[in-house]
A and B are shown apart, each in its own frame.
Chain A
Amino acid sequence: MAKIEYDELVQLLQDGKIGHLRVLLESDDAEAYLEWCEQHGIEPSEESAEFYYDETEIDMMERQLIDDECYGIWN
């Protein structure tokens, strides 16, 4: 099955068709999330995924700003 683009995952999440756990596990953040779970002595779950997602997620507008190629020119 082809990998779903992140934007599409977020859209599915917002539509309530998938949960936070699937978003994380199918995104580039999967490894970081699983490592975080291990470091916190918990199993991956919908609850912890939602928390991890909320702590790390940058909304699309911010992501677009921050990913800009000239980001940080003045810093």
Chain B
Amino acid sequence: MAGQKRTDIPDETLAGQFDEMKKRHPDAILLFRTGDTYMTYRQDADKASSVLGIELRERSLPDNTTIRTAGFPYHALDTYLPRLVRAGLRVAICEQLEDPKRKKKEADGLDTSGPIKEPIKKENDMPRKKKEKAPQEEPGKTAGVPADGENPKEKKSESTSHSAGQGDAATERKPREPQMVTVNGDKVTHGHAYRSNVNPEDWYFTARINGQQLKPQKMEPADVAAYDKKEIGVPELMQRYYPTKLMPRVPEEAFKYPNGLAGPSGPLTVEKFNVYKETDETRADYGRYKFYAQVGDKKMSAPASRDDLNAYFDRVATPGQLVERNFGERLHLPSHYAQFRLPDGIDPKGVRVAKDRSDGKWKVSADLGEGLGRTSKQEISFDDGYSLFKAKSATREQIAAKYLGGEIAAMMAAPLSVEKSASMKM
């Protein structure tokens, strides 16, 4: 093959060019188009040889040093590129400017073999890094699927077909239309899934809101598959992975302190609310983010859930709401207990809260009636007992729903058999 003759002679300038480009893109494999071959150098050659199973060669340079190379024919790019990408590697393709004289020779049917006469001297002599394949690779393909429904192949074609001379013009981009606009008027752009470089089995979703890059979120495999099949798009993935970014924000006034809150026997005042990371290594919740609240003269902290942390960060829940969720039990708030309800059809008269004679602990249980039987006995907290008996901000039904909700639902879904029910009556 005529072109291969060129590639048999590593060009020291290309090696220098590789070193220069490698400094700028250390995490990408650089594929250099030299004649009819794509070449890789040094550490990239090691990786390419290993992943693609192509020969690794050691070449001599004019300064008596050597360089490792590995290459493949240009027409095999469609075969080898997906393999590199699937191996979790980022790939940048560097092509040389076409020499008009050489092009004319080719057009005239002349032999164009032989060493490259005009080595690449500067970056502008080649198209910019054409594309970073790995991060944008779509599940199961080498190209991705746009969430806006455009044909990715057409886009890919646009981005890869430009010649060196068109490079600068091709990289000019029009302002991006938002993929969605949130209820807050925030513009979501750049939403896409990409494969992790570190763990190729992992996929991440990310987007920008008003130009601000969001922290990538690891995707569930089912979502990756659905995204691949275009069953879900950016709006659905935003809802799944950044739900609080889409919720209406509460007014800033809600974060001015003191802040009112309905207590068990009159209004309470939230004096302070913030978040911190537990630094006491002796605690079980060391390293976890916790909410700190001062309500009246009561100072409390509690580990925060990821949902609540996001709600706080994105300001879609008021401090009062977060206090209710995280300290409602300790403050004996009626609003905390209001969230617990027994399923329809369960008679509240069957709920029993009593001290267990065997261990002296207060426990709740419920008789669900004939055919369903009685639940187990669950110990209740001191604060819930206080709310029930002293503050009277909680009802027996609410306490039962709080501790037995899951068990009751399961029992209702699978009622006891007649035989077992009958035996319990004995």
Contact = CB atoms under 8 A, between A and B. Distances in A.
Interface of A: 32, 38-42, 45, 47-48, 50-52, 54-58, 61-66, 68-75
Q: Taking chain A's interface residues, is the majority helix, strand, or loop, or is none over half, making it mixed?
A: helix
Interface string B196-229: 0110000010100000110110000000000000
Contacts of A72: 136, 176, 189-190, 192
Contacts of B144: 73-75
Contacts of B234: 75
A73 B158 CA distance: 10
Interface string B180-203: 000000000111101001100000
23 contacts: A39-B255, A39-B315, A45-B274, A47-B274, A47-B276, A48-B275, A48-B276, A50-B276, A55-B215, A55-B313, A57-B215, A61-B197, A66-B206, A66-B213, A66-B216, A70-B130, A71-B136, A72-B192, A74-B138, A74-B155, A75-B147, A75-B190, A75-B192
Contacts of A38: 252
A13 B190 CA distance: 29
A11 B124 CA distance: 32
A40 B216 contact: no
Interface residues of B, number: 54
Contacts of B138: 74
Contact of B197 (A47, A56, A65): A65
Given A39-B255, A51-B277, A69-B128, 17 more contacts: A38-B252, A41-B252, A41-B319, A42-B274, A47-B274, A51-B276, A51-B309, A57-B215, A62-B206, A62-B216, A65-B194, A66-B206, A70-B132, A72-B192, A73-B136, A73-B159, A74-B155
Nearest to A45: B274
